[in-house]
Amino acid sequence: MSRLVSGCRGNLLLITLAFCLCLAHTACADDFVLRDGDTVVFLGDSITAARSYGKMIENYTLLRFPQRKIRFINAGIGGDTAAGGLKRLERDVFAHGATVLTVAFGTNDIGWGVLADEEHKRTYLEAVRGIVTECRKRGVRVFICSAAVTGADPNTSEESFLQKMCDEGMEVSRSLGGGAIDVQRTMREIQKRVWKFSESITDPAKKYSLHVADGVHLNELGQLAMAYAILKGFGAPADVSDCTIDAGESKVIAAVGCKVSDVVRTGDQIEFTRLDEALPFNYGLFFALHFAFVPVPNELNRYLLAVKNLPNGKYDVTADERGVGTFTSQQLSGGVNIASTTSNGWEPGGPWNAQASVLLSLTNARGELGAALTQANVYIKQGDLPAELAKQAAASNERLEANQRTVAQPRPYRFVIKPVKPDEKSKT
């Protein structure tokens, strides 16, 4: 069986594979909120300012919709509230030509729970109303998100003040014609799986969590859970593409979201060229371990390969000479999700995974550039340095965006499926 990463924990691997074998989600590309020409702004507090969930959404979109030219801007500021976000809409949202806005506040609005009262809730709701109203005036598609889940017990936090306040904020948005994404409830279901898995772990330091030590800020797993929630709220499709080959007849049975050509069989080996319309989402080495809790493979990332009528045995799958994994003929006949599989846990798997790794470096570079601009605007009040920096950074950012789109473009991959040669021990 193909390894997601070498040396990963057995239980995590089993859970991850179970998610890969679930039934497909029915969302399609036409359902996705983000369109060609959109400028997406993420408005929020320190969880947004960390840039992680925004970059994950950015990379998913670039890989899955490579023909759409979409820009992403992070407008998160640590410690901010909905009222603060309303005050800076012109500078941080409208001035960038935003067409889509996600808004994620709530935790600071009630002082991490210390100020959970009607007065602070009213201030939050008035700010949400103001944000949605101003966005609607300018034709910006706005989505009010519930705050990220905290480290509180997910089995009881459904009734928390934060969830109920965010519910009211989302209803305000809907009543004004805006959108709403319940990030908190989606994250809570993931958090329940994390807590359940950690029940048998006695050392508190080794228990899995969505948070860092303060129970409010998110670690990488938590950021992925938040990105997943927003992508689902955007109507992100599950299916990348689906290819089925008949090895016995050396022909293509089905090709959905891809073109398959030049099918050749030599003995028990079969090879073909596959050109996809989009690429699966990957985000660096070992990132697939998070899929044990966040159902990305089944819900967002179904990149399928099926090969029928192979002789019984095990087969190595490569694409452009990169190791995708080893599968049995039965597995290949039933179809496997090869989006994130690899033959070597220390390297990305197929060439699509390698492209995603390169893309991540470019996205990180854009993120660092954006962070520098944000810090200049927030902390440097005197002189013209922020304006000068913004002018110079614009050209750098444009080049980085062009690099991103180049890397995310699908290319034809030459697949080879060949029998695994038995080692000398198996012969004796």
DSSP labels, 128-166: HHHHHHHHHHTT-EEEEEPPPP-SS-TTTGGGSHHHHHH
pLDDT confidence of residue 382: 83
Mean pLDDT for the chain?
Answer: 92
pLDDT score of 238: 96
* CATH fourth-level superfamily of 33-236: SGNH hydrolase (3.40.50.1110)
Residue 226 contacts residue 183 (beta carbons within 8 Å): yes
Q: Which stretch of 22-26, 88-92, 102-106, 211-215 has the lowest confidence by average pLDDT?
A: 22-26
Whether the pLDDT of residue 26 is over 90: the answer is no
Mean pLDDT of 263-287: 96
- Work out the pLDDT band at 15, boundaries 50, 70, 90: very low
Asked if the model's pLDDT at residue 25 lies above 60, the reply is: no
Average pLDDT score over residue span 106-132? 97
Question: How confident is the model at residue 374, as a pLDDT?
Answer: 83
Q: For residue 421, what pLDDT is reported? A: 84
How far, in Å, CA of 205 to CA of 307, rounded?
44
Domain ranges of the chain: 1-26+238-428, 33-236
Flag whether pLDDT at 3 surpasses 60.
no
Q: Per-residue b/e over 386-408, b at no fewer than 16 CB within 10 Å?
A: beebeeebeeebeebbebbbebb
41 close to 92: Cβ distance less than 8 angstroms: yes
- Reported as a single tens digit per residue, the pLDDT across 396-410 is 999 999 999 999 999
| 372 pLDDT higher than 70 | yes
Fill in the amino acid letter for 342.
T
CB within 8 A of 37, min separation 6: which ones? 68, 69, 70, 99
> pLDDT-based confidence at 19, cuts 50/70/90?
very low
pLDDT number for residue 425: 41
Read off the pLDDT band of 27 (50, 70, 90). low
Q: Over range 279-299, report the average pLDDT.
A: 94
User: Is 45 in contact with 111 (CB distance < 8 Å)?
Assistant: no
Question: Which of 3-12, 135-144, 304-313 has the lowest average pLDDT?
Answer: 3-12
Lowest-confidence range among 17-21, 55-59, 121-125, 252-256? 17-21
With a threshold of 0.85, does the pTM exceed it? yes
Compute CA distances 191 → 11, 54, 170, 184, 195, whole Å: 17, 20, 22, 10, 6
Q: How confident is the model at residue 104, as a pLDDT?
A: 98
What count of other Cβ atoms lies within 10 Å of the Cβ of residue 102? Answer: 26
In the structure, what pLDDT confidence band is assigned to residue 298 with cuts at 50, 70 and 90? very high
- pLDDT of the residue at 280: 97
